Chains A and B, each alone.
Chain A
Amino acid sequence: MSDRPHPLLELTRARVLEFLREPEAVFWVFVFPVLLALALGIAFRSRPAEVARAAVVSGSEAARETAERLGRAPDVEVRLLDLPEAEEALRKGRVDVVLEVSGASPPAALVTYRFDPTRPEGRAARLAVDDALQRAGGRADAVPTADRPETERGSRYIDFLIPGLVGLNLMGSGMWGIGFSVVVARTRKLLKRFAATPMRRSHYLLSFALSRLVFLALEVAAVVGFGWLAFGVAVRGSILDLSLVSLLGAAAFAGLGLLVAARPRTIEAVSGWMNFVMLPMWLLSGTFFSYERFPETLRPAIRALPLTALNDALRAVVNDGAALSDRWPEGLVLAVWTAASFALALRIFRWK
């Protein structure tokens, strides 16, 4: 009798149905990343123009006059505060720089800048305030310069963020989705029951990867579509390349999820392993900030991580309009992770 459904298709169908009937899973896969993109997009939205917030310590004619001069500069926002108030404002981040003025009126006064040099805002404010004071005091530029602001789409933080969120989401939903289902089935002795049938064991593992593909399009579309509608993040490359990259990434994380879930007998154990595997990638793989910030010597290792390869390839396609064929090293990294993790998972998988 050959009219029976193919076991791989039946297994995949069962996976898909189980997922859809789990409302929490649907939330984490589709709604959560969109909320995350929204929150981060708002927090890091490009501000109209960065203003230096300065406080001048009041108490002398020189201080009042300095504040007045600064107030005329367009990119400085200044107020007069007494010393304790000014110090508190600096500590709480309400101002970026505090000016203590001593001696006669400007330009004869001595100005001391107090700021936190480890905060970029502090350094920027000091430069802006200093520049404004020096110009007001009559300094002329030695080299003529001109500014051309780059607030173009494609180079904002949200443009950087959206492909990273797609990658992160593919990792999270792949690993958690698969890891939990496998371990739950193991604790319920369902794996043992399957092992007692003539089911091909590779079919069981493959069905997880296939079921992930069913949701892949929706999952990627949710985040990318949201980025486009809410923040105007455009996909510059082709949708086909975006799909292929996502597919490779989903396959790699399906394999990794199966590998992590191959042996643990309890949900607690598998959760621990999941976090152990994913945490380094959360930090290192350049989802929220570029991994170029890590030392040069670490970068080859970071690039070998599947999430790094996926994020890089996604950014190349979404932000730079690259084709997958240009990014074959990342594609190769993902393919190797996929093949190696599936093969190893199948070997060490615990059915009882």
Chain B
Amino acid sequence: MEEAPPLAVRCAGLVKRFEDVVAVAGLDLEVRSGECFGLLGPNGAGKTTTVEILEGLSAPDEGDVEVLGARWGRGADRALRARLGVQLQETLLAEKLTVRETVRLFRSFYARGRDADGVIGMVGLDEKRGARVGKLSGGQKQRLALACALVGDPELLFLDEPTTGLDPQARLKVWEIVAEFRSRGGTVLLTTHAMEEAERLCDRVAVMDHGRRIALGTPADLVASLGADQIVEIEADGELDGASLGRLPGVRSVSPRPRGFMLAVGDIGSGLPALLAEVGARGARLESLRTHQATLEDVFVHLTGRELRDV
């Protein structure tokens, strides 16, 4: 029998309520040691709430959390924190300190860790070493936050939207840093809205909505679960019927969109002509038709009827 890889994070039945909202509604997650796990979901899905519970920053109302084989609040929290690297979704580091002073400060909290200057170089802030944090651009601040998360040489890295607001080059830089961290055996749990990022970086992803997990698997598995190579988005002026679209050859599924339909199509060669024939037969006028390779984004839309970025 093959031995299951050890778990870096395990949580079961996680529930967190705020006054009138249930931010996390019974979530189960397992992150394996050495993998990069992505948590996807629209705004307000409960990603940050979940991650902060795993980081030991807030306590769940219900459920069980185990991080690197330990539990929070058992008297060994500091020892556990020493093994974690954390980037919060929004932290504004002290503006009056320089990049170097900030990283040194964080370094001093860890008994073992990386060299502060080395980490600054790694996130590409060498030139900004002596600059005040308040004078950095948004993307530079984000990389500084990453440096602070890495300087304790963690086993497990939590990144809450590490590349939101970064330019393409800075995003590539962050991806490289994450890859380097993993090549040293580190485990990563990240949240993101960017499908491309999840597909490039994550071994497995969980899709969350309304505090629940609605899908789990490798990005490739999730895309394959649509049973479609191509996604066709169609908008037409006139009556189109979802049910009859679904019966067309090659069409695997249909989801309504604000001004038309989105079709997952297995075989575009037979699907597209049939679709055009159907539009013609119904006397509707085609307004727009787009097709693209199926992605995680389509999985999400298929599951929830909403774009990932929707609130």
Say yes or no: is A45 at the interface (Cβ < 8 Å to chain B): no
1/0 per residue, CB under 8 A from B, across A251-285: the answer is 00000000000000000000000000000000000
Q: Which chain B residues lie closer than 8 Å to A199 at the CB level?
A: 109
- B94 close to A5 (CB less than 8 A): no
Quote the shortest CB–CB distance from B65 to chain A (angstroms): 15
Which of B88, B132, B152: most chain A Cβ within 10 A? B88
- B108 close to A21 (CB less than 8 A): no
Of all chain B residues, the one with the shortest Cβ separation from A196 is B86
Q: Which chain B residues lie closer than 8 Å to A7 at the CB level?
A: 108-109
Quote the shortest CB–CB distance from B232 to chain A (angstroms): 43
Interface footprint category on B: 20 to 34
| Count, chain A residues at interface, CB 8 A | 29
Say yes or no: is A229 at the interface (Cβ < 8 Å to chain B): no
A11 CA to B111 CA, complexed, in Å? 15
A197 CA to B152 CA, complexed, in Å? 9
B70-103: which residues lie under 8 A (CB-CB) from chain A?
78-79, 81-82, 84, 86, 88, 90-94, 96-97, 101
Q: Which chain B residues lie closer than 8 Å to A6 at the CB level?
A: 108
Residue B81 contacts which of A5, A198, A351 (CB distance < 8 angstroms)? A198
A199 CA to B96 CA, complexed, in Å? 21
- A196 close to B108 (CB less than 8 A): no
- A21 close to B112 (CB less than 8 A): no
A196 CA to B83 CA, complexed, in Å? 11
Task: Say yes or no: A196-B81 contact (C-beta < 8 A), given A14-B94, A18-B96.
Answer: yes
Quote the shortest CB–CB distance from B135 to chain A (angstroms): 12
- B97 close to A189 (CB less than 8 A): no
A165-190: which residues lie under 8 A (CB-CB) from chain B?
185, 188-190
- A4 close to B108 (CB less than 8 A): yes
Say yes or no: is B58 at the interface (Cβ < 8 Å to chain A): yes
Say yes or no: is A22 at the interface (Cβ < 8 Å to chain B): yes
- Given A1-B113, A5-B104, A197-B109, 5 further pairs, Cβ under 8 A: A6-B108, A7-B109, A21-B96, A189-B88, A352-B57
Which residues of B pack against A, CB within 8 Å? 55-58, 78-79, 81-82, 84, 86, 88, 90-94, 96-97, 101, 104-113, 132, 148, 152
Q: List 25 A–B pairs whose Cβ atoms lie within 8 Å, in order of A's numbering.
A: A1-B112, A4-B107, A7-B108, A10-B104, A14-B94, A17-B101, A21-B96, A185-B94, A188-B93, A189-B91, A190-B92, A190-B93, A192-B57, A192-B88, A193-B86, A193-B88, A195-B57, A196-B56, A196-B57, A197-B109, A198-B79, A198-B81, A198-B82, A199-B109, A351-B57
